[in-house]
Amino acid sequence: MRILFLLLALASFGSCFISKDMLKQAQRISENGILEVDDPRFDILFDGPKDYYLIVLFTATKVNAGCSACDAFGPMFKTVARSYVANYPDSKRVFFAEADFGDNREHFKQLQMNTVPHLWIYPPSELTESEIQAIEPADWKSIANVTSPHMVYRPPDKFITARDTDGGELHFAQFLSEVLHTNIVLQKPFDVAVFLQYFSITFAVVFALKKRGQRIWGRLQKYYLYCFLSILSILISVSGFNFSTQRQVPFLARNDKGQIMYLSGGTHYQFGSEMLISAGFYVLLGVTTVLLITWVPKLKDHTKRGLATLVLTGVLFVLYCMLGTVFHSKDSSYPYVPLSIPVF
């Protein structure tokens, strides 16, 4: 929805000041709570001081620009804008606008904006409403305009390239929440496909429990199952799984020479492969220790028992040295390496 009625309102009041009430009226009749901007109305929205936040998306979706990033980020911007308006329907503190290249060619050229999308956040001016009203319209552009100081939001490439709408919306909403000091709860439309997916899974689980509940319950009472689940949960906890998933770290990387790197430098970061490496060492060390404690004492032949103890102790020592070497490669000050055995 265009903001043409704003021009009429401005003309009737004989002023260049866009009040929050005018913007609120435009917001209520706009799609997704976003004000659309075009060349004739561009300066009216940007020029002059403001007593509100103005969040503007510069994009190119109305022309054949082939901007895949614009197509990917546009829905995220609209969802967050719609959610904010739904969360705070009477708020006059924040307004969202969209300037498309197809409608604002001249101003895009003046700004030398050769790439899109861009998202700029204009904070309120440090002026009172009475001070704003006292400024002559002719001086407004020199006080504030589209190039005035603003914050810039750059969506992470991983959300754009993978078209991860849910992750991108959440990241943008969290960013705005920190800037605006306001909690934004995303308002998502009802997704029938997701509902059917969860319904089908739940139905299948309930049906299986009803048909084979006794057999499944009998298996759940087995000792070894709890041991396996306990060990698995421990390995997930100590291998850095949470860090890797939260930071979206790569599984492997290459150095400047193009060689594959299995270990990252430093103790404050890791690759995905290091989860498997550390978990593998812990499993082998654990199995060796368990064999020494439970299996070796059961050997009746003293010679075999001594040989098994010697072999398993040697394996335990070698594994520990290999694990210590891995730690030392990440932290050169790590002192507990009796014998350096490079692995990678």
> Cα 256 vs. chain centroid, distance in angstroms?
28
**307 within 8 A of 320, measured Cβ to Cβ:** no
Short-list 125, 182, 172, 126, CA closest to 152: 172
60 plus 154 within the same structural domain? yes
Helix, strand, coil shares of the chain, percent, nearest 5, are 55, 10, 35
Domain count, the chain: 2
Contact partners, residue 122, CB within 8 Å, separation at least 6: 46, 50, 53, 54, 55, 56, 148, 150
Task: Find the distance separating the first CA and the last CA of the chain, reported in whole Å.
Answer: 60
Rounded to 10 degrees, the C-alpha dihedral 83/89/95/97 comes to: 60
Instruction: State the pLDDT at residue 118.
Output: 92
Share of the chain above pLDDT 90, in %: 30
Last residue within a domain, chosen from 115, 148, 180: 180
Higher-confidence residue: 158 or 256?
Answer: 158
112 plus 234 within the same structural domain? no
Q: Rounded mean pLDDT of 316-338? A: 90
DSSP assignment letter at 117: -
Does 146 reside within a domain? yes
Is the predicted pLDDT of residue 256 greater than 80, yes or no?
no
Q: Return the beta strands (E) in the chain as ranges.
A: 34-37, 53-59, 94-100, 118-122, 151-153, 253-254, 260-261
Q: Rounded mean pLDDT of 91-104? A: 92
Return d(Cα 208, Cα 217) in angstroms, integer.
12
Does 187 reside within a domain? no
44 plus 161 within the same structural domain? yes
The structure tokens 């956040």 sit at: 121
Residue 261, phi then psi, degrees to nearest 5: -110, 120
Does 132 reside within a domain? yes
Does 340 reside within a domain? no
Residue 30: count other Cβ atoms within 10 Å of its Cβ. 21
Last residue within a domain, chosen from 180, 214, 231: 180
56-60, 69-73, 254-258: lowest mean pLDDT where?
254-258
What token pair was written down for 24? Answer: 């609120």
150 plus 261 within the same structural domain? no
Convert the pLDDT of each residue in 8-39 to its tens digit.
Answer: 444 344 445 577 888 888 888 888 889 988 87
Give this prediction's pTM.
0.55
DSSP string of 204-245, one letter each residue: HHHHHHHHHHHHHHHHHT-HHHHHHHHHHHHHHHHTTHHHHH
**54 within 8 A of 99, measured Cβ to Cβ:** no
106-120, 145-159, 189-203, 330-344: lowest mean pLDDT where?
145-159
Q: What is the pairing mode between strands 118-122 and 151-153?
A: antiparallel
112 plus 226 within the same structural domain? no
CATH of the domain at 170: 3.40.30.10
> Cα 195 vs. chain centroid, distance in angstroms?
24
Rounded to 10 degrees, the C-alpha dihedral 141/142/144/148 comes to: 120
23 plus 166 within the same structural domain? yes
148 plus 256 within the same structural domain? no
Does 120 reside within a domain? yes
Higher-confidence residue: 198 or 138?
Answer: 198
31 plus 107 within the same structural domain? yes
8 plus 156 within the same structural domain? yes
Q: Rounded mean pLDDT of 46-61? A: 87
Structural domain range at position 316: 222-330
Does 71 reside within a domain? yes
53 plus 174 within the same structural domain? yes
Average pLDDT score over the chain = 82
267 plus 154 within the same structural domain? no
Last residue within a domain, chosen from 153, 180, 207: 180
151 plus 226 within the same structural domain? no
Return d(Cα 208, Cα 171) in angstroms, integer.
38
* 3-class SS of residue 2: strand
Does 287 reside within a domain? yes
Does 22 reside within a domain? yes
Distances (CA, A) of 316 to 238, 284, 286, 329: 20, 8, 9, 20
Q: Rounded mean pLDDT of 236-259? A: 80
